[in-house]
């Protein structure tokens, strides 16, 4: 697989063709802000960070994104709010900004 090297948050990071970063260890808030800008999110609010950090911490524990139902429950947001925050949706938007590798599978 060919990865592209781009500068995110002042660091050179490999990303795949869909824009997911391939070195999750290099992730920090600056990287997240730059990834968010690519998705058209001008400013990361407290709500954005809450979702991103919940996904990130869950991933650090289990190496997978949480169930959507769990994400909604624990961050006390319904799915529409998450779509309002991350227009690309929970997987392509929030997980990407949280620095997770590309999710595979049907969904």
Q: Would you name the residues annotated as active-site residues?
A: 106
The one among 10, 42, 76, 105 contacting other proteins by CB under 8 A:
105
Pairing mode, if any, of strands 11-15 and 4-8? antiparallel
Q: Is 25 in the site for other proteins (CB under 8 A)?
A: no
Piece of 10-18, 26-34, 43-51 that binds other proteins (CB under 8 A): 10-18
Q: Longest C-alpha distance within the chain, in Å? A: 38
Please report where in the chains the tokens 């600056």 appear, as a residue. Answer: 30
Task: Report the distance separating Cα 94 and Cα 80, nearest Å.
Answer: 13
Binding site for other proteins (CB under 8 A): 1, 16-18, 62-65, 67-70, 83, 89, 92, 102-107
């Amino acid at each position: 697989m060919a990865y592209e090297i781009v500068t995110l948050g002042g660091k050179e990071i490999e990303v795949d063709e869909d824009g997911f970063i391939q070195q999750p260890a290099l992730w920090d808030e600056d990287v997240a802000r730059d990834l968010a800008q690519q998705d058209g999110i001008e400013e990361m609010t407290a709500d954005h960070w809450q979702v991103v950090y919940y996904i990130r911490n869950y991933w650090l524990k289990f190496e997978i994104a949480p169930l959507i139902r769990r994400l909604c429950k624990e961050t006390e947001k319904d799915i529409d709010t998450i779509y309002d925050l991350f227009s690309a949706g929970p997987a392509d938007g929030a997980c990407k900004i949280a620095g997770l590798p590309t999710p595979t599978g049907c969904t």
